[in-house]
Amino acid sequence: MEFSAERAVKIILALAACVTFAGCATYYNPATQRREAVWLSIEQEKAIARNTLEVKLKDRNIVSDARAERVMRRLTSSIESPRIPEKNIVVYEDEDIQAFTPGGGFVALSTGLLRASNEDELAAVIAHEIGHDEARHVMKRVEANLGAQALFSLAYLFDTRPAEKKDMSWQYFSQAAGVIYTLAANGFSRRDEYEADRLSILYMYRAGYDPNAIITFFEKLKSLGRDTNWVYFLRSHPYLDERIEAAREEIKKYEFGSAPFETRGSYR
C-alpha cells in the first residue's frame, strides 16, 4: 500500500477521534466556566503531582512554614466547589523566588519567595498557583502530551513502507511536530497565566486579601530583572507590564461591581 501525506492525516484524525472519545468524561469547571474533557482521574492527578514533586525537589530541603500554611487554608476556604478540596503547600529551601504547581492540589514555593513577600503578596502567589490547579492547566498539558505520543506511535505503526524508508521521514515529522507543539504550548501557557491571574484576584477578594498585592508583587519581580526580553512568540509567560495592566483592569471589575461572579469578597 502506497504511503501518502493525505493518508497519514486521515489516520491521525481517525486515531484522534478514538482517543478523544474513548475513556474520557466531560464536566463543568467553575474555574474556567467551561465544559471540559477529562482523561485523568483525581487520584491519577495526585499521583502524577506527587511524583513530579519527588523528582523536582529531590535535592531540596523541605521545611514547614506556618504563614504559608495559614494563607493556603484561608484561600482554600474561599473557593466555591473546589475541584480538589484537599490543598497541600510544600515549602523548600531556595534563595531564588520560585513557586509552581504540579497539579493534584499541590502548591510548592521557595523560602526565597517567603522572604520577598508580605502576607497579601504571598496570598497572590499561592492563589495564582491554585488558579492553575483548579483550571487544570498542568493536567491538560499532561493529557495533550500523552495523547500526542499515542497518536504518533500508532500512526507510525500504520505506515506500511519499509523501515529504512519511513524512519527518516517520521524522524523529520517528529521534529517538526515537536516544534509546533512547543510553540502551541507556549501560546496556551500565556493564556493560562492570564487566567490564573484572574482567578488569583477572585480568590483573594473572596478570602479578604488585598488583590492589589498581585500588582506590587509583579513590580517587585520587575525590579529584580525577572521580565527578560525574549521573543514574545517563544515566551511561556506574558510580559509583566502586560500582566500588571490586565490585573488592574480585572480589579476594576470588582471595584465597580461588574465582576462575572455572584460571590463578592470582603476586602475593601
Q: What is the pLDDT of residue 185?
A: 45
The mean pLDDT of the chain is 78
Q: State the pairing for strand pair 106-110/88-92.
A: parallel
Q: Is the pLDDT of residue 3 over 50?
A: no
**Interval 187-196 mean pLDDT:** 80
Q: What is the pLDDT of residue 257?
A: 64
Maximal CA-CA distance, the chain: 70
Higher-pLDDT residue of 210 and 149 is: 210
**Interval 83-110 mean pLDDT:** 93
- For residues 190, 245, 212, 260, the Cα torsion angle rounded to the nearest 10 degrees is -70
Q: How far is CA 205 from the centre of its chain?
A: 21
Tens digit of each residue's pLDDT (9 = 90 or more) over 212-238 = 999 999 999 988 876 544 433 334 567
| Low-confidence winner among 48-62, 203-217, 230-244 (lowest mean pLDDT) | 230-244
Specify the pTM.
0.75
92: left (phi over 0), alpha (psi -120 to 50) or beta: beta
The residue assigned the cell 505506515 is: 159
Q: What is the pLDDT of residue 219?
A: 93
CB 267 within 8 A of CB 210: yes
Tens digit of each residue's pLDDT (9 = 90 or more) over 156-174 = 555 566 656 555 554 544 5
Q: Is the pLDDT of residue 183 over 50?
A: no
Q: What is the pLDDT of residue 93?
A: 97
Residue 251 and residue 57: Cα distance in Å, rounded?
34
**Interval 102-107 mean pLDDT:** 93
- CA R_g for the chain: 21
Q: Is the pLDDT of residue 152 over 70?
A: no
Each residue of 24-48: b (16+ CB within 10 Å) or e?
eeeeebebbeeeeebbbeeeebbeb
Q: What is the pLDDT of residue 150?
A: 56
Residue 129: band (very low, low, confident or very high) from pLDDT cuts 50, 70, 90: very high
Q: Is the pLDDT of residue 17 over 70?
A: no
CB 264 within 8 A of CB 254: yes
Residue 146: band (very low, low, confident or very high) from pLDDT cuts 50, 70, 90: low
Percentage of the residues of the chain whose pLDDT score is greater than 70: 65
Could you give the count of Cα atoms lying within 13 Å of 89 in the half-sphere of its Cβ? 25
